[in-house]
Structure 1
């Protein structure tokens, strides 16, 4: 019997700590594991007993990149409990805040974490010498995401101006117009990034599981909807019913809770690729052209194409944010005020739902009559993705072994796949 064990300890260029373990016996793949080795974060325990006023500030600390999404998701959960209806202007500002984190995350993931895989480098730093324009453009795009989050949320991470019912501060018309002009200035770079990542060769595989994304009629939603859909199963549900359709479970080899579709038992993928499969027709014109040129059209099931999907979302986010900023700069163009609306504190349960950069994010909160947290559960995109990542690693390993690939090649392609998922392993543990 011939046995090959492929171990990657502390896989590089991902956020958090995780190991890959693959065992091949007599030409057959026997074991495929993604070992998340992060300790428990205990954020749900931290907020228990705390006031509704504090919860979003605490939960934003789960992730530096996705902090805006955690804040908005918590606010949506609390507002569902209190029966708060925010204004269209507040919705627009929240969308800008979430998209600011998209610019931060996608620029970091694509150019710092993923790109070295395809140019034969171990890190991004050699690009500063070999392709300084690409390097500077990537840093500039990340900086623009920081600037947008600061303008809307009060600082680049862990926003402070977004509160239940609205915002405590809003910038002026001139600042909105300046932001819109900066968005426009990066449009050509973002379009070129789609071409760049579409040109990198990747294995042709199909994901093993379903896909999950927020949906909304006639829109590409990241914040404005409470409706989620499993694309393959055709199951559509309100976020408040997430527990009836999404099942979390533990495995011995990982500190992360894994997830599957409750009705089918299938693992699933959530993220940019799932969003584009769900709402391709609602992309902006420039993003749709860039996606079509890159060959990214539904149904696209190759998880390596998540890199291209993120690049397409950069094009879409820049155009969309520029339009929102210009609308906010015009008096009366966006209905209502961003000042917090009135409400009464009451007991109840609500689930907030947003599309964080890495995928669907759910915050399930229960409050008592004084607005203190009785129960909290946070389901992050990476926690939802780990089971499907393992399944896709098996698909990839079996294909490579059948093709006679050498051990080093199998190891490299599996590492590329892990990074294509853009995981935040620190966020995958509870």
Structure 2
């Protein structure tokens, strides 16, 4: 009998702290755990009893990369509870704010966290020495995301201008046009990024579970729809019914709750890969061409392809943001971005956005004074961990059957975890 034990203490190049434990006996996995060792952060307890006006600012502190997504998600939950309908211009600005976090996150993940895996480095520092121009261009994309979030949200992280019903400040036409030009200039490097990750070798595996993404007819939505779809099964549900569609459950080896489809008990993946599978036809022309050139076409079920999907989204985001900025500069949206009037009332609402790492749900129950009585936050990483463990198990058994040794299996397991782009700090409640 051959026994293989893989223990990774504090996995490197991910957000937060987590350990990998994998045991194989005669090529069969007997233990496979992604142990999140973060302490409870008590997101929901922090907002209980707080006024709706404070909650988005508190929720933004869940994450330093996805803070824009948390703010917009919270605002959507509050507005659903109060029955608020925002203007088209406000919706466009919220898209820009969320897209700014995509530029921040994807550039960081792809080039600082993931690329060293495929270039034979243990960290980004050798890459900075061997190809400083590549890293500088990547950091330039992140800086562009920072600038967009600052101009729209008032700060590069933890936005302050987005409020219930609209925005308290908006940039002027010249700033919009300047940002549009900057997006156009960055597109060439984003296309290069797709080609770079296309050329990296990965193990041929198919994810075990389903794929979950926001959907809307003829659109590639990130914060403008309430509809979610499990791509492989085709089942759809409204975000307002998320607790009927998705079940969270605890496990003994991790500080994070795991998630599964309530109807089937299956795990699922939510990420850029899920969005590309769900809304392929709605990608911008350049992004769709780059994806097809890279071999990324639905159905793409290899979780390693999430890296390519993020690179494709960089191209898509730059095109969309340039177009949105020019339309906003030209006044091509009905209404203003000033907060619309509303009445505080008791109610329940679920906010739903596509954060950079995947589907994000905020559930809020408010009393007649607009104070939070109950809150629940389901982050993408918390939803992904069960599926990640299933994919780790499958990858290990596939590689063992092909004769790979323990060191190579360990390397590919780590690469797989990083391909999911987890934020382990955000996965604990």
TM-score relative to the length of structure 2: 0.99
Q: Tell me, in whole angstroms, the C-alpha distance in 1 between the residues paired with 2:203 and 2:189.
A: 26
Structural mapping, 1:121-132, within 5 Å:
121-132=121-132
Query: In the alignment, does 2:100 pair up with 1:114?
Result: no
Query: In the alignment, does 2:261 pair up with 1:261?
Result: yes
Partner of 1:205: 205
Q: Tell me, in whole angstroms, the C-alpha distance in 1 between the residues paired with 2:232 and 2:289.
A: 25
Q: CA shift at 1:335, angstroms?
A: 1.1
Count residues in correspondence: 429
Partner of 1:249: 249
Query: In the alignment, does 2:392 pair up with 1:377?
Result: no
Partner of 1:167: 167
Q: Tell me, in whole angstroms, the C-alpha distance in 2 between the residues paired with 1:272 and 1:102.
A: 10
Q: Tell me, in whole angstroms, the C-alpha distance in 2 between the residues paired with 1:264 and 1:128.
A: 46
Query: In the alignment, does 2:425 pair up with 1:423?
Result: no
Query: In the alignment, does 2:333 pair up with 1:334?
Result: yes
CA deviations on 1:71-106 (whole Å, 9 max, x unpaired) are 000000000011000000000000000000000000
Determine helix, strand or coil for the equivalent of 1:201: coil
Q: Tell me, in whole angstroms, the C-alpha distance in 1 between the residues paired with 2:385 and 2:14.
A: 13
Determine helix, strand or coil for the equivalent of 2:349: strand
Q: Tell me, in whole angstroms, the C-alpha distance in 1 between the residues paired with 2:283 and 2:196.
A: 20
User: Unaligned stretches of 5+ in structure 1?
Assistant: none
Determine helix, strand or coil for the equivalent of 1:71: helix
Partner of 2:23: 23
Q: Give the 4+ runs in structure 1 shifted more than 3 A.
A: none
Q: CA shift at 1:3, angstroms?
A: 2.1
User: Unaligned stretches of 5+ in structure 2?
Assistant: none
Structural mapping, 1:396-415, within 5 Å:
396-415=395-414
TM-score relative to the length of structure 1: 0.99
Point out the more displaced range, 179-188 or 20-29. 20-29
Q: Tell me, in whole angstroms, the C-alpha distance in 1 between the residues paired with 2:154 and 2:22.
A: 45
Structural mapping, 1:105-254, within 5 Å:
105-254=105-254
Q: Tell me, in whole angstroms, the C-alpha distance in 1 between the residues paired with 2:407 and 2:220.
A: 40
Partner of 2:65: 65
CA deviations on 1:252-309 (whole Å, 9 max, x unpaired) are 1111000000001110000100000000000000000000000000000000000000
Q: Tell me, in whole angstroms, the C-alpha distance in 2 between the residues paired with 1:374 and 1:383.
A: 23
Q: Tell me, in whole angstroms, the C-alpha distance in 2 between the residues paired with 1:26 and 1:218.
A: 49
Q: Over aligned residues, Cα RMSD in angstroms?
A: 0.6
Query: In the alignment, does 2:274 pair up with 1:274?
Result: yes
Point out the more displaced range, 1-10 or 223-232. 1-10
Q: Tell me, in whole angstroms, the C-alpha distance in 2 between the residues paired with 1:306 and 1:26.
A: 30
Q: CA shift at 1:318, angstroms?
A: 0.2
Q: CA shift at 1:232, angstroms?
A: 1.6
Q: Tell me, in whole angstroms, the C-alpha distance in 2 between the residues paired with 1:197 and 1:2.
A: 35
Q: Tell me, in whole angstroms, the C-alpha distance in 2 between the residues paired with 1:128 and 1:3.
A: 38
Determine helix, strand or coil for the equivalent of 2:348: strand
CA deviations on 1:37-58 (whole Å, 9 max, x unpaired) are 1000101000000000000000
Q: Tell me, in whole angstroms, the C-alpha distance in 2 between the residues paired with 1:226 and 1:139.
A: 33
CA deviations on 1:389-417 (whole Å, 9 max, x unpaired) are 00000010000111111110000000000
Q: CA shift at 1:13, angstroms?
A: 0.2
Q: CA shift at 1:26, angstroms?
A: 2.5
Q: CA shift at 1:127, angstroms?
A: 1.8
Q: Tell me, in whole angstroms, the C-alpha distance in 1 between the residues paired with 2:253 and 2:288.
A: 41
Partner of 1:89: 89
CA deviations on 1:5-59 (whole Å, 9 max, x unpaired) are 1100100000000000000112322111100110001010000000000000001
Structural mapping, 1:39-50, within 5 Å:
39-50=39-50
